[in-house]
């Protein structure tokens, strides 16, 4: 039985949402699953080619309106993220960073010229974006960023600093870079062929290997006055983008968990131990039942938050609840699923260990478990325990 059938999840979806989910699932089965273990093993992924395919599929910035974007509801976007992450968190990351971080920043805060210049090409996957917030010494606390943007006599902006762990940084055409100005933190639209911009890919990762992670170096990077995002001033700008990407992760992480559970379920039905299928043992059934319950509960939470987002009432604290719960539970499910596969569970031939390794990154990026715990703690108590 499909674990979501236990919760009659399909009944909560519209025909259009089911159709979008099935289309992305089929795409994943045909175009991504045959290659994912190799991409992960070799630590490289054809990000630019994939972006074109995902653009043709219509899922890059699909929840945004206009400029070549489909304008779907939040749940449909979440389901697309889930199907991508059922293949690999790194592939969902590509979709999140492009649509929810880079495109969303331009869509929400950009000038009409910036939107016209970048969004249609990004929706089509012809242009790839990245989002530079984290720095070597400022991750959970982006208010501590050192990257600076200063105006010179000609009115140009001059940026200096380093961004670290930037998804797609070294394959992007455009970087949204957040920097400290004399006034407040501002966002800049940076073509990556600008003088003074360089990107170095990070290697030797043990997680999110099918995703490009990079360092961005801004060395007297000169930008015209109109490179700034006019609609964002202060930390609320980048954090507003993070709400979008975190929402995608609430659905997405469950994709990795679902795929792990389904893999373990199939394995347990056919693997015989002590002359009986593994699935016939009570200890195995307890593992499977517990995983299915956590998965279903996570999906109900995701659906509830999705409908709140579509109604326009979702709060950042509610997004934190969803990210905190669903990533933590998905990681636990992937780890538990792996145990059912015994020694085979450590092979890339089966997905759970790859999902578990990836979810270690998902647990950290877009706000760590500790950050989201403190956001929820502050909402409950009114006390700020961050510092």
Per partner kind, with CB cut-offs from 5 to 8 A, the member of ligand FAD, ligand TGC, none near residue 325 is none
User: Minimum distance from CB of 99 to ligand TGC (Å)?
Assistant: 10
Residue 303 vs 314, nearer CB to ligand TGC: 314
User: Minimum distance from CB of 287 to ligand TGC (Å)?
Assistant: 29
Of 300, 339, 228, 286, the residue nearest 8 (C-alpha) = 300
Rounded Cα distance, 73 and 186, in Å: 29
Residue 131 is a binding residue for ligand FAD (CB under 6 A): yes
Contacts of ligand FAD in 69-98 (CB under 6 A): 97
Beta strands 174-180 and 185-191 are antiparallel
Which residue in 85, 294, 336, 366 is the catalytic one? 366
Burial degree of 208 (CB within 10 A; 0-12, 13-18, 19+): buried
Asked if 31 is an active-site residue, the reply is no
Taking CB under 6 A as the binding criterion, the range among 17-25, 130-138, 328-336, 376-384 that sits at the site for ligand FAD is 130-138
CA atoms within 13 A on the CB side of 334: 31
Contacts 24+ apart (CB under 8 A), 361-364: 361/89, 361/207, 361/208, 362/89, 362/249, 362/252, 362/253, 362/256, 362/327, 362/330, 362/331, 363/327, 363/328, 363/331
Residue 320 is a binding residue for ligand FAD (CB under 6 A): no
Of 170, 139, 132, the residue nearest 361 (C-alpha) = 139
263, 320, 351, 361: residue in contact with ligand FAD (rule CB under 6 A): 361
Taking CB under 6 A as the binding criterion, the range among 41-49, 56-64, 128-136, 179-187 that sits at the site for ligand FAD is 128-136
Rounded Cα distance, 284 and 212, in Å: 37
User: Minimum distance from CB of 45 to ligand FAD (Å)?
Assistant: 12
Q: Both tokens of residue 89?
A: 């968190």
Per partner kind, with CB cut-offs from 5 to 8 A, the member of ligand TGC, ligand FAD, none near residue 96 is ligand TGC
Per partner kind, with CB cut-offs from 5 to 8 A, the member of ligand FAD, ligand TGC, none near residue 132 is ligand FAD
**Cβ(352)–Cβ(297) under 8 Å?**
no
Within 10 angstroms of residue 332's Cβ, the number of other Cβ atoms is 16
**Which residues in this chain contact ligand TGC in the complex, by CB under 6 A?**
93, 96-97, 131, 133-134, 140-143, 167, 234-236, 239-240, 242-243, 245, 316, 365-367, 371, 375, 386
Binding mask 138-157 for ligand FAD (x = CB under 6 A): -xx-----------------
100, 147, 167, 243: residue in contact with ligand FAD (rule CB under 6 A): 167
Rounded Cα distance, 350 and 357, in Å: 13
Binding mask 270-309 for ligand FAD (x = CB under 6 A): ----------------------------------------
DSSP code, position 170 = G
Residue 29 is a binding residue for ligand FAD (CB under 6 A): no
Residue 162 is a binding residue for ligand FAD (CB under 6 A): no
Residue 218 is a binding residue for ligand FAD (CB under 6 A): no
Rounded Cα distance, 122 and 153, in Å: 33
Of 221, 209, 130, 107, the residue nearest 176 (C-alpha) = 130
User: Minimum distance from CB of 216 to ligand FAD (Å)?
Assistant: 9
The rounded radius of gyration (Å) of the Cα atoms in the chain is 21
Helix crossing, 15-27 with 74-87: angle to 10°?
A: 20
User: Minimum distance from CB of 33 to ligand FAD (Å)?
Assistant: 21
List residues binding ligand FAD (CB under 6 A): 97, 131-134, 139-140, 165-167, 208, 213, 361, 364-365, 368, 370-371, 386
Q: What residues act catalytically?
A: 366
């Amino acid at each position: 039985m499909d674990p979501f059938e236990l919760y009659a999840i399909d009944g909560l979806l519209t025909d259009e949402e089911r159709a979008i989910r099935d289309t992305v699932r089929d795409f994943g089965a045909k175009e991504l699953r045959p290659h994912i273990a190799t991409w992960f093993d070799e630590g490289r992924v054809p990000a630019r080619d994939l972006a074109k395919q995902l653009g043709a599929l219509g899922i890059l910035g699909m929840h945004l309106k206009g400029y070549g974007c489909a304008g779907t509801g939040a749940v449909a976007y979440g389901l697309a993220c889930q199907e991508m992450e059922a293949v690999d968190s790194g592939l969902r990351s590509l979709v999140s960073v492009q649509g929810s971080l880079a495109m969303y920043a331009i869509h929400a805060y950009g000038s009409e010229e910036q939107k016209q210049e970048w969004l249609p090409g990004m929706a089509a996957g012809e242009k790839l974006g990245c989002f530079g917030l984290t720095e070597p010494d400022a991750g959970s606390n982006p208010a501590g960023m050192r990257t600076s943007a200063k105006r010179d006599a000609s009115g140009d902006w001059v940026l200096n600093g380093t961004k670290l762990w930037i998804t797609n940084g070294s394959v992007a055409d455009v970087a949204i870079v957040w920097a400290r100005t004399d006034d407040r933190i501002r966002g800049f639209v940076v073509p990556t062929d600008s003088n003074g911009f360089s990107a170095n890919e990070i290697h030797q990762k043990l997680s999110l290997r099918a995703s490009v992670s990079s360092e961005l170096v801004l060395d007297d990077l000169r930008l015209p006055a109109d490179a700034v995002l006019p609609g964002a001033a202060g930390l609320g700008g980048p954090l507003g983008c993070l709400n979008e990407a975190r929402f995608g992760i609430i659905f997405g992480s469950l994709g990795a968990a679902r795929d792990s559970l389904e893999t373990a379920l199939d394995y347990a039905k056919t693997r015989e131990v002590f002359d009986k299928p593994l699935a016939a043992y009570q200890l195995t059934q307890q593992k499977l039942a517990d995983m299915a319950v956590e998965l279903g509960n996570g999906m109900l939470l995701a659906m509830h938050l999705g409908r709140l987002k579509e109604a326009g009432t979702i709060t950042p604290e509610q997004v934190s609840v969803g990210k905190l719960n669903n990533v933590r539970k998905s990681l636990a499910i992937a780890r538990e699923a792996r145990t059912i596969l015994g020694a085979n569970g450590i092979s890339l031939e089966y997905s759970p260990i790859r999902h578990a390794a990836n979810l270690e990154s998902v647990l950290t990026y877009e706000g760590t478990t500790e950050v989201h715990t403190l956001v929820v703690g502050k909402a409950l108590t009114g006390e700020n325990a961050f510092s």
